[in-house]
Amino acid sequence: MLDVIIFGAPGSGKGTQSCLIKDKYNLLHLSAGDLLRNEIAAGTELGNVANSYISKGQLVPDDMIVEIMDKAIEDKEREGSYNGIILDGFPRTVSQAEALEKMIRKRNRNISMLLDLTVAEEELVGRLLKRGETSGRSDDNLETIKQRLEVYHEKTAPVNDYYKKQNKYTAINGSGSIDDIFARVCEAIEKVYEPAMM
Contacting positions for ligand B4P (CB under 6 A): 8, 10-16, 32-33, 36, 53-54, 59-60, 65, 89-90, 92, 96, 127, 131, 139, 148, 178, 181
From CA 65, how far away is CA 83, in angstroms rounded?
Answer: 24
Q: Compute CA distances 7 → 40, 45, 46, 143, 178, whole Å.
A: 23, 28, 24, 22, 16
Q: Is the peptide bond before 91 cis (omega within 30 degrees of 0)?
A: yes
Helix (H) or strand (E) segment spanning residue 19: helix 14-25
Tell me whether residue 179 or residue 194 sits nearer to ligand B4P (CB atom): 179
Quickly list H helices, 43-177. Answer: 45-54, 62-77, 94-105, 121-135, 142-151, 159-164
* Phi, psi (deg, nearest 5) at residue 157: -55, -35
From CA 140, how far away is CA 94, in angstroms rounded?
Answer: 25
Write down the least CB distance from residue 66 to ligand B4P, Å: 8
Write down the least CB distance from residue 154 to ligand B4P, Å: 13
Tell me whether residue 22 or residue 127 sits nearer to ligand B4P (CB atom): 127
Tell me whether residue 116 or residue 139 sits nearer to ligand B4P (CB atom): 139
Write down the least CB distance from residue 81 to ligand B4P, Å: 26
Write down the least CB distance from residue 168 to ligand B4P, Å: 18
Tell me whether residue 4 or residue 32 sits nearer to ligand B4P (CB atom): 32
Tell me whether residue 178 or residue 198 sits nearer to ligand B4P (CB atom): 178
Write down the least CB distance from residue 48 to ligand B4P, Å: 14
- Nearest position to ligand B4P, beta carbon: 33
From CA 21, how far away is CA 27, in angstroms rounded?
Answer: 8
